[in-house]
Amino acid sequence: MISSESVEKACSEVGDYTDDYMVSEFDRFFRAQPAVCEFIVELTHDSGHKIQELTLFLSYMIFKALEIERTGTVDVIKPEDIEAAYRETESWMTQVSQAEGDELQSAIAVSLQRDTEPHLLQYIVSELNEPMEDGAELTDEEKGEVFFLLKTIISSLNGQRRIIEIN
């Protein structure tokens, strides 16, 4: 599990990057995790530039936190790991969508607490609720799309997937 300290350290480090250094970090990320980047680009192609850019940035943040936690190299995620995680996340989202009202909020909260990476998911949810750099806010549909993709990426880390049951 990635600690909240590693997530905070990743945020702090990235916040201090110059624009040029950020570009070089993205290049490094794209070379290190081509399947992740291809997955995001392919599934956000019709969603618009801001959704694609945000999803790629937050996926970079996931890997930055993972590098800090593991002090070094992160295993390359394979396309088959992403595909399996995608199916599991789809199943999880279906279960969540069947809950209603207070039951929905409770089910999501309990489910996220039992997840294998609660600190990463809390970070993602927090970021999705913040306004974009231009001050615009994401719609609920856009938040759901980005969350779904990032939950899939988190679930595919090292092939350690786990379906989260909603009671």
d(CA 165, CA 128): 23
Give the pLDDT of the chain (167 residues) as one tens digit per residue. Answer: 899 999 999 999 999 999 999 999 999 999 999 999 999 999 999 999 999 999 999 999 999 999 999 887 788 999 999 999 999 889 888 877 776 666 666 766 666 666 778 899 899 999 999 998 888 899 989 999 999 999 999 989 855 444 444 33
